[in-house]
Amino acid sequence: MLNSLTRTRVIQLWFVAVAVAIATIVAFGVAVTASTAVLLVAGSFVPPGILLIMWRDAPPPTAAEVIHAADRQ
């Protein structure tokens, strides 16, 4: 199941989770101050940004792949 997750799908799930958290906060009537709003915005944009930077599209080739590719040429 986790092998089929793509970077964009993980980010979409993250934003849905943040939207549900914000909706829950509003539904329970919590007082949202400026510092709380900044924390929610940072919590919703920082992790996906880190994910975009660190998640590679394809894994690097293994030693066996490099050796066999050299034999074919």
Locate 40 and state its tokens.
Answer: 């929610």
pLDDT (0 to 100) of residue 28: 92
Neighbours of 48 (CB within 10 A): 18
Distance CA 71, CA 48 (A): 41
pLDDT the model gives residue 71: 61
Tell me which amino acid residue 29 is.
G
pLDDT at 44: 82
57, burial (CB in 10 Å: exposed 0-12, middle 13-18, buried 19+):
exposed
Q: What is the per-residue pLDDT across 1-48, written as a single tens digit (0 to 9) for each?
A: 567 777 788 888 888 988 898 889 889 988 888 988 888 888 888 888
Top-confidence residue, 3 or 73: 3
Q: Determine the angle formed by the axes of helices 7-27 and 34-54, rounding to 10 degrees.
A: 170
